Structure 1
Amino acid sequence: MQSKLNKDEWVAMFREIGLTEKTMMKWHRLFESRHPESHADFLAWLGISPDEIASIRANFR
């Protein structure tokens, strides 16, 4: 059993519940604006590289 989700699995779950690219972008923007450090921690937990985390966060500031 896998102990941790990765980015692709998380995105697949978002899509399964009906989130679109637009709503996922809104989710990131809200997470980054309200809880920037927790957003960074969450992205790292998903196994995303530090460079990609920096890019994601910059896009949603």
Structure 2
Amino acid sequence: MSKNVSKNEWVDMFREIGLTEENMMNWHCVFEKRHPEAHEAFLQWLGIPADEITDIRRRSR
């Protein structure tokens, strides 16, 4: 059985490659614009609570 990567682990990987908070937000914006349903599914896969997903998606539009 595979373990999902947590939100914090994902953010740590982004930071490790040099992404800033602004870069990460831009990544969310591109993901939301190009693939909104997949973006939502990815956030759910990370185990992010529904209210936080709604906020991330709202800020990504």
* TM-score exceeds 0.5: yes
1:22 CA displacement:
1.0
Determine the structure 2 residue equivalent to 1:22.
22
Query: TM-score if structure 2 supplies the norm length?
Result: 0.94
1:50 CA displacement:
0.7
- 2:48 matches 1:36: no
Deviations 1:4-59 (A, max 9, x none): 11100000000001111111011000000000000000000000011110110001
Counterpart-to-counterpart distance in 1, 2:51 and 2:25: 18
Gaps of 5+ in 1: none
Counterpart-to-counterpart distance in 1, 2:60 and 2:40: 12
Q: Any runs of at least 4 consecutive aligned residues in structure 1 with deviations exceeding 6 A, and if so which?
A: none
The percentage of counterpart residues that share the same residue type is 60
Query: TM-score if structure 1 supplies the norm length?
Result: 0.94
CA RMSD of aligned residues (A): 1.0
Determine the structure 1 residue equivalent to 2:53.
53
1:3 CA displacement:
1.2
How many pairs does the alignment contain? 60
